[in-house]
Amino acid sequence: MSAAQKSLSRGGRGAASGAGGLLSERELRRIIDSVLLLAESTDAEEAEVHVDEVEDSLTRFANNAIHQNVAEHGLTVSVRTVVDGRTARATTNRVDEDSLRGAIEASLSLAHSQPKDPRLLPVPGKQRYRKVERFARPTAALTPDDRARAVRRACDLAVKRGQVAAGIFASGESQTAMGNSRGLFATYRETHAEFSITMQEAPAASWAKANAANVRDFDPHELAERASEKAHRATNAQELPPGRYTVILEPSAVLDIVGFLFYDFAATALADKRSCLNDRMGKQVFGKNISIVDDAYHPLQLGAPFDGEGMPRERVLLVDRGVPKNLVYSRASAKLAKKKPTGHGFMLPNEHGEAPVNLVFRGGNTSVEEMIASTERGLLVTRLWYIREVDPYEKVMTGMTRDGLFLVENGRVSSAVRNFRFNQSLLEMLSNVEMLGPAVRASGEEAFEMVVPAMKVREFHFSEVTKF
């Protein structure tokens, strides 16, 4: 038995057999050490290993019943080798020695096939990471029966009100660990829980969603109640002409549209001249009430305190009172720009560089109710849908409103409105923000979770109306 085999056999996978449980940190380290040991007997000059493991479950319901109910366990080992100024990656989900050796060989074979890259950096050495605690036992302990009972309660509410419920209740745990031949080792694990519900009262529908590390941080039934009440209000929608309207965007609507802005803050995107911030850094691009940071340590954020290269994530002030101030950097883009890496790099090799992934907007203190009360005529938007980029430099986005669009008149919600298509520049939108709500952890479908406020925005551009 080779040293690597011994190491692997000690690691085993017994702790994770059956329906639950992730490998221990020690077991993860053993897999990484085994790969690094195997790589030592090849011509790889450096090696880097990522191990990712998920244990996820998702209960899906529609027509007031569970129709899909799934669970998965998955573990991947991803190896990057470096040889003579060349690098490549190979990934496998098998942890026997032959398979790990095969991944190393595949990575080396890919690496050898390419020209030398003079800009390739050596793998980083040991790093220090801030501790984050994002593993909640109540989430890890959730069973299929627990989820089914919560779903049943939401569906019973729908039946009682003559509505039809659809949605998901998901929970799971995941972990990632990485190590390299220069002694770097990083590990992170978290739990995640999510409840999303659409209540349909023909022909209308409304929606509510929450996502957190701890399942106790939201109440599925409260979300069901909220969606149900809004769906009822959304019936009898009237058609309004397209045009420019004052809008009150609930946090999910804000999240899903501003989510398309953030790759523009990657230093690589600017170097490639595909960012809307080319020639705009340091200028008053947004309103003075817009400030944005990327902060992996914010209490409402999830995610690892290190990036795909193993660098510690740093808090970065992206926008200060409407002025784009800083970008995020991988090690390579930092070197090119003579800056320090900020811990936002993707796993190498890749052509995209980096991106901020823990966005936090500075909020205000105006509630959605106060925004409504302050509005003579406008629209209250629950969420936005199918958002795509129309103009990458002016950052014009198109998409639809969905699941609850309401007319606000004289400080009150007066009626439901048929859904609109919008074509709206994000730069303009974030210059037209009149009021901000408290920043909350918002969840949508177009962008990853962020900490954003509700916003009251003037002159939001709706170009067409649909049939419902």
Partner 1 sequence: MPLRDGKIVMWDMAGQALETARVRGAKYADVRVMHLRQRDLTTKNGQVGTLAQSESIGLGIRVLAGGAWGFASTDRLTREGVSACAGRAVAIAKASAIAKRKEVVMAAEEAYVDSWQSPFRKDPFEIPLETQLALLLAADAEMRRVKGVTLTETDLQFRKIDSWFASSIGSRIHQRKMMSGCGIVATSFQGDEIQKRSYPNSFGGQHSLQGYELVESLELLKHAPRVAEEAVALHSAAQCPQKTGTLILGGSQLGLQIHESVGHPIELDRVLGEEANFAGTSFLTLDKLNKLRYGSEIVNVVADARLEHGPGLGSFAYDDEGVPAQCTDIIKGGEFRGYLSNRETAHLVGLARSSGTMRTESWNRLPIIRMTNISLLPGTWRSDDLIADTDDAILMETNRSWSIDDRRYQFQFSTEMGWEIKGGKKARMLKNPSYSGITTEFWNSCDAICDEREWVLWGTPNCGKGQPMQTMGTGHGASPARFRNIRIGAAFSES
The answer to whether 421 and 396 have CB atoms below 8 angstroms apart is no
In the list 22, 35, 49, 197, the residue contacting partner 1 (rule: CB under 8 A) is 197
- Considering only residues 166 through 195, tell me which ones interact with partner 1, judged by CB under 8 A: 166-168, 170
DSSP class of 35: H
- The minimum distance between CB 205 and partner 1, in angstroms, equals 7
Task: Please check whether residue 322 is in contact with residue 361, taking contact to mean a CB–CB distance below 8 angstroms.
Answer: no
**Is the peptide bond prior to 138 cis by the omega test (within 30 degrees of 0)?**
no
Q: Report the distance separating Cα 131 and Cα 297, nearest Å.
A: 9
Stretch that binds partner 1, among 238-246, 283-291, 305-313, 356-364 (CB under 8 A): 238-246
Site for partner 1 in 376-415 (CB under 8 A): 385-394, 396, 398-400, 402-403
Q: Under the criterion CB under 8 A, does residue 12 sit at the interface with partner 1?
A: no
Nearer to partner 1, 42 or 69 (CB): 69
Site string for partner 1, 425-464 (x = CB under 8 A): --------------------x---------------xxxx
CA separation for the pair 244, 458 (Å, rounded):
8
Within 341-380, which residues bind partner 1 (CB under 8 A)?
A: 349-351
Among 25, 40, 84, 96, binds partner 1 (CB under 8 A): 96
Q: Is 56 in the site for partner 1 (CB under 8 A)?
A: yes
What is the nearest approach in angstroms of partner 1 to the Cβ of residue 336? 12
Distance CA 453, CA 429 (A): 14
Euclidean distance between CA atoms 211 and 190, whole angstroms: 13
285 binds partner 1 (CB under 8 A): no
If one asks whether residue 468 binds partner 1 (CB under 8 A), the answer comes out as yes
64/375 with CB nearer partner 1: 64
Which of 111, 213, 234, 293: binder of partner 1 (CB under 8 A)? 111
In the complex with partner 1, the residue whose CB is nearer, 71 or 317, is: 71
Separation between Cα atoms, residue 273 and residue 86, nearest integer Å = 26
Q: Does 104 bind partner 1 (CB under 8 A)?
A: no
Q: At what angle do helices 97-112 and 3-11 cross, to 10 degrees?
A: 120
- The three-state secondary structure class of 16 is helix
**Identity of the residue, 117 or 320, whose beta carbon is nearer to partner 1 in the bound complex:** 117
Residue closer to partner 1, measured from CB, 58 or 372? 58
CA distance 442 to 210: 7
Long-range CB pairs of 100-106, under 8 A, 24+ apart, other chains included: 100/4, 100/8, 100/31, 100/34, 100/35, 100/38, 101/38, 103/35, 103/77, 103/78, 103/79, 104/35, 104/38, 104/39, 104/42, 104/44, 104/47, 104/79, 105/42
Q: Give yes or no for residue 467 binding partner 1 (CB under 8 A).
A: yes
Q: Which alpha helices (DSSP H) does 384-425 contain, by range?
A: none
Contact between 67 and partner 1 (CB under 8 A)? yes
Check residue 160 for interaction with partner 1 (CB under 8 A): no
Q: How far is the CB of 43 from partner 1 (least distance, A)?
A: 16
Only one of the segments 115-123, 301-309, 336-344, 358-366 lies at the binding site for partner 1 (rule: CB under 8 A); that segment is 115-123
- Considering only 12, 122, 125, 243, the residue that binds partner 1 (CB under 8 A) is 243
In angstroms, what is the minimal distance from the CB of 207 to partner 1? Answer: 7
Q: Which range of residues in 85-93, 284-292, 370-378, 431-439 is near partner 1 by CB under 8 A?
A: 85-93
Nearer to partner 1, 26 or 112 (CB): 112
**Residue placing its CB nearer to partner 1 in the complex, 21 or 287:** 21
Report how far residue 436's alpha carbon sits from residue 456's, in angstroms, rounded to the nearest whole number.
7
Alpha-carbon span 67 to 114, nearest angstrom: 48
For partner 1, which residue of 128, 131, 160, 273 counts as binding (CB under 8 A)?
273
Integer CA distances (angstroms), 23 to 10, 75, 139, 177, in order? 12, 10, 17, 11
